[in-house]
Amino acid sequence: MHIVLIRLIILLCALCSPAFCQQPKGDLLIADFEGDGWGAWKVTGEAFGPEPARGTLPGQMHVDGFKGKGLVNSFYKGDGTTGTLTSPEFKIERKFISFLIGGGKDAEKTCMNLLIDGKAVRNATGPNDKPGGSETLAPEYWDVSEFAGKTAVIQVVDNATGGWGHINVDQIVQTDRKPPQLLANAKREFRIEKRYLNLPIKNGAPKRVVTTLVDGRVEVKNDMELANAAPDWWAFMDVSAWRGKTVTLQVDKLPEDSTALSSIEQSDSIKGAENLYREPLRGQFHFSSRRGWNNDPNGLVFYHGEYHLFYQHNPYGWGWGNMHWGHAVSSDLVHWQELGDALAPDPLGPMFSGSAVVDWQNTSGFGKPNQPAQVLIYTAAGDPTVQCIAFSTDGRNYTKFSGNPVVKQITGGNRDPKVMWHEPTKQWVMTFYVEENGKHTIQFLSSPNLKDWTRMSHTDGFFECPDFFQLPVDGDAANRKWVLTAASSEYMVGSFDGTTFTPETPKLPGNRGRGFYAAQTFSDIPSNDGRRIQIGWFQTETRGMPFNQSMTIPMELKLTATVEGPRLTWTPVKELASLRARTHKFAPVTLQPDTVNPLTDVKAELVELRAEFEPGDASEVAFAVRGARIVYDAKKQELAVNGHRAPAPLRDGKQRLTIFCDRTGLEVFASDGLTYVPMPFQPKADELALAMQAKGGNAKVTALEVHELRSAWGAQ
Ligand code: FRU
């Protein structure tokens, strides 16, 4: 044979010898749980159910991150069930076993083990060991190269019955391709030259702890669902305070191939700002935060000619978490300008709800000559959970008091201080929620200076977010009553002697709708105005948007005398009239039974409808507003808003309805404000029609006007 040919053959043989042929072998599927039963897997106990779950189980938070349709989910019948799930024996033939895992984080009780000769040689758990958390399965793997050729089984264990007492697993594969590793403490440094860091967020991704360090010192820690690839939306961190300094973002764990850190942009604008306030589900006259989640309104106060609206804010997530105090200001209660967050989490904990006052007499010493301080009173929800204060003399920059906390923990979970100045006793009075002796209580404390607090008394039967204020009955300054209310908006009317609240009514229902919670009223409205103005958290879910939830419109609260005693009324504030772009007034009309009366001229996206009618012999008078149905049942004297019923008595034989309709909700006022029905609702973009109709008889519409409203987010 030709010598060259022989050499070639020798070379080819050498290349094909095992030492050279390290071609990775194909993956071996151990289980994907796509079948109808457990197959050859052995089940004990009840936790794993009769077959693989198809996603989320009843009563469970949304489960995602699994592959295909089926997965192991031991939340069967809730967390209370236990059991094990064991694979048939298999031979270890690849270097790695990769899998998806979620649920509880207990290495013994909610876990997955690799057993060789009956001994656990590898172990994995879900990420959750405290309330909240996420039901997203995340990729993990074991390096099993040292066990090559051995016989093994996989065992999934649920031996826990309390919170996070379950484990989720899917897609178990033997592979030679090393899955991307999770890097510990991945970080990126930024020399701050611009205002914001824009951060990529993927809803439902595993929550990572992101530590912000400024010139090497830990400033704050936040949980973020960082996007490893394309984000759902961009959050922003305002870093303007650290211009010229080095900010390091450090992530506790990040897959090595994640682009989360490298895609962060330093910029003077918020990414996506060109669409701000024009997003399809942005309430156009309901406040919502530019980015992230909001819940309760906090610290509502009038100061230096501006209304301040602080609020529970998660700047970095679409869901609840990382509680900051967001901050917005308005000169008219209608047009809001969002400022940066006023309070960020600190070593005492996340910033939970609270209130604000103006310290006119400088009792705290935080004021400057002719510049009374605005003082925020909030809960720092660490362990222990304590009440703290912060102050400002410009309504823009806030300093936390160095002597915090000002109220130590009474019992765990105590929270939501609402403070007001009580002129007759010349002291500050705080109401706040405390669970004591197994009861929900509102505690009353007093202070001369906002710093030193003494317990005075308590009232039982109210849960979180109290509010406490005085109102005249029917405007009579000589007949003023105290109102104690809390998150549900139920309330009691009574008297207060500076120490103790004495109820004169039972607990009365507040709002009659849905998605209304944790409302607060403004402090320090000038006495020549004298209104008591309330804003509530409006639970308007906005999927697909870079923000979530909103606030109700501002409403004036009054007490009115009824045969049953004094009752609260809710009225939209008069300032909302500034949004009226076009007004349609209709002549009085008698509605014939069962004939639809379209309001033909009106085609409006944002609607304020005001109607006064006498039901006459009609059994029902109905209004259709952008696909919503607001139906008055004249026999029962009840209002149904999209099927949700509320008592709505006639007043002097008449019913007066005010209906506000925005992109994410309706707010309906009836019975001269005695009935307030907030209702999250998303009208379809092309449903612009309005109509009215009587049933069963004639009804007389004595007044009707419809205002097309303009957006409150004009020039931002
Ligand atoms: C009410 C509430 C408050 C708490 C806050 C935390 O919605 O639970 O009691 O302070 O939210 O965000």
* CA 245 – CA 502 distance, rounded (Å): 55
**Pocket perturbation via mutation, ligand 1, pick of 310, 311, 323, 352 by most ligand atoms within 8 A of CB:** 352
Range with lowest mean pLDDT among 175-179, 298-302, 377-381, 486-490: 175-179
Q: Which residues does ligand 1 sit against, CB inside 6 Å?
A: 295-296, 312, 323, 352-353, 379, 415-416, 464-465, 487, 517-518
Domain-embedded: residue 10: no
* CA 140 – CA 206 distance, rounded (Å): 12
* CA 145 – CA 81 distance, rounded (Å): 35
Q: Specify whether 296 is catalytic.
A: yes
Same domain, 187 and 135: no
* CA 684 – CA 680 distance, rounded (Å): 13
- In Å, how far are 220, 361, 599 from 645, measured between CA atoms? 46, 48, 25
* CA 614 – CA 625 distance, rounded (Å): 20
**Pocket perturbation via mutation, ligand 1, pick of 324, 432, 464, 488 by most ligand atoms within 8 A of CB:** 464
- In Å, how far are 396, 448, 451, 713 from 383, measured between CA atoms? 29, 27, 20, 40
Ligand 1 centre to CA of 470 (Å) is: 24
pLDDT at 715 over 70: no
- For the segment 403-434, what is each residue's pLDDT rounded down to a tens digit? 999 999 999 999 999 999 999 999 999 999 99
Same domain, 417 and 518: yes
Confidence bin at 108 (pLDDT 50/70/90): very high
Same domain, 414 and 430: yes
Ligand 1 centre to CA of 352 (Å) is: 6
Structure tokens at 192: 């701050």
**Pocket perturbation via mutation, ligand 1, pick of 293, 295, 298, 311 by most ligand atoms within 8 A of CB:** 295
pLDDT at 19 over 70: no
* Cβ atoms within 10 Å of 274's Cβ, excluding its own: 8
Question: Does a cis peptide bond (omega within 30 degrees of 0) precede residue 566?
Answer: no
Q: Whose CA is nearest to atom 9 of ligand 1?
A: 464
Residue 418 β-bridge partners? 431
Ligand 1 centre to CA of 691 (Å) is: 39
Same domain, 534 and 400: yes
CATH number for the domain harbouring residue 103: 2.60.120.200
The minimum-distance atom of ligand 1 relative to the CA of 415 is 10
Ligand 1 centre to CA of 376 (Å) is: 16
* CA 319 – CA 669 distance, rounded (Å): 30
The minimum-distance atom of ligand 1 relative to the CA of 320 is 12
**Mean pLDDT along residues 235-242:** 97
Same domain, 208 and 140: no
Burial of residue 176 (CB within 10 Å: 0-12, 13-18, 19+) is middle
Ligand 1 centre to CA of 278 (Å) is: 29
Ligand 1 centre to CA of 353 (Å) is: 6
Q: Do the beta carbons of residue 359 and residue 375 sit within 8 Å?
A: yes
Phi, psi angle pair for 7, to nearest 5°: -60, -40
- For the segment 632-661, what is each residue's pLDDT rounded down to a tens digit? 999 999 999 999 999 999 999 999 999 999
pTM for the whole thing?
0.84
Cα–Cα nearest to 94, from 145, 49, 140, 40: 145
Confidence bin at 716 (pLDDT 50/70/90): very low
User: Average pLDDT, whole number, for the chain?
Assistant: 95
CA–centroid distance for 631 within its chain: 30
Domain-embedded: residue 505: yes
Same domain, 246 and 262: yes
* CA 713 – CA 701 distance, rounded (Å): 34
Domain-embedded: residue 8: no
The minimum-distance atom of ligand 1 relative to the CA of 379 is 10
Same domain, 190 and 158: no
- What residues make up the domain containing 38? 25-175
Higher pLDDT: 8 or 288? It is: 288
Catalytic residue among 79, 170, 223, 296: 296
Same domain, 154 and 77: yes
* CA 455 – CA 468 distance, rounded (Å): 16
Residue 602 β-bridge partners? none
CATH number for the domain harbouring residue 256: 2.60.120
Specify the number of domains making up the chain.
Answer: 4
Domain-embedded: residue 302: yes
pLDDT at 21 over 50: no
Phi, psi angle pair for 503, to nearest 5°: -70, 145
Burial of residue 21 (CB within 10 Å: 0-12, 13-18, 19+) is exposed
Looking only at the bridges linking them, the beta strands covering 246-255 and 265-267 are: unpaired
Same domain, 159 and 251: no
* CA 196 – CA 240 distance, rounded (Å): 7
